[in-house]
Amino acid sequence: MQRTISGFHLLTMMSIVDNVEQAGDDIRLRSWLIKEMPSSITGQDKIIRDWLTLQFVMINLDPEMERLMQLDPEDFDHHFQWHMDNFYAFSNAADRIKLLKFAMDLIKLDGIITQPENKFFNMLYEAWTEAGQNEETS
């Protein structure tokens, strides 16, 4: 669950950092969350998992979004870095590649990649690429 919440923070920050609200961002982020929810939650069947997924997406996003909206601009880098490290800790290489691809699609949605969007995308790419290379050589 931590990976999913951190992914939501990372993607949301990338979509709002340019101060341009793009139609469809929220729907895209919610669909990513549903796909990224753990496939089994304490061994319960699919109906319970689907209900929990719906509850998470419909209810628990509001406090997360409120936290993001209350961030001071000078705290963006630190908050982004924290969730980037948290996502990394609870993911594998395939998860990180999927998030990077989704992030690129998200920031390209309006046809323009702004400097702030590019900065955060590059932070993810460079940190995760370097960390992945370090893991391979260990």
The mean pLDDT of the chain is 76
pTM: 0.72
**Cα separation, 130 vs 13, whole angstroms:** 22
- Here the contacts of 32-39 (C-beta below 8 Å, separation 24 or greater) are 32/7, 32/8, 32/102, 33/4, 33/7, 33/8, 33/57, 33/61, 36/3, 36/4, 36/7, 36/95, 37/4, 38/1, 38/4
Secondary element (H or E) of residue 24: none
pLDDT tens, position by position, 97-136: 989 988 898 888 778 899 999 999 999 999 998 766 666 6
pLDDT tens, position by position, 24-70: 566 666 666 666 655 544 444 455 445 545 555 454 567 887 888 88
**Cα separation, 109 vs 100, whole angstroms:** 14
